[in-house]
Amino acid sequence: MSAAFDRAAAVAVVATAMVIINANVVHGLLCLVISLLAVAIVFYVLGAPFAAALEVIVYAGAIMVLFVFVLIMLNTGGPAIQQARPWLTPWIGVATDGRSPVLLAAFVSFLLPRPIAAI
């Protein structure tokens, strides 16, 4: 059971990273479907088959079909990709990653126990 969990979790992490890295939107959506299916396997291994079924039916099924139809309607091709290419540099992530320690500190401070104030 642990091996199935580990493999599914690794596939989910790699597929989610590929969603972020891919410049092609359709390939990103396919990687997102793989990620959602891997998360469904994780749910199933953890003993939540209903959550796994909902993950497959609702997310990997209905929402992905909706995304594909939106992509077909938008018809983004070569000119749109060339226009967005300057924004898809690795340095854009540096500004986003700079906020991560602040969010982590806020989350950890929220989890720490606090004394109850006397009334």
Both tokens assigned to 21: 């890295």
- C-beta of residue 41 within 8 angstroms of C-beta of residue 52: yes
Q: How confident is the model at residue 77, as a pLDDT?
A: 65
- C-beta of residue 68 within 8 angstroms of C-beta of residue 32: no
Alpha helices in the chain (DSSP H): 2-21, 25-45, 49-54, 64-74, 78-84, 92-98, 100-111
Q: How confident is the model at residue 2, as a pLDDT?
A: 84
List average pLDDT for each run of 10 residues in the chain, which is 119 residues long: 88 92 83 90 92 87 80 70 73 72 83 75
Fold for the domain defined by 2-79: Four Helix Bundle (Hemerythrin (Met), subunit A) (1.20.120)
Q: How confident is the model at residue 44, as a pLDDT?
A: 92
Task: Please count the residues of the chain.
Answer: 119
Q: How confident is the model at residue 119, as a pLDDT?
A: 66
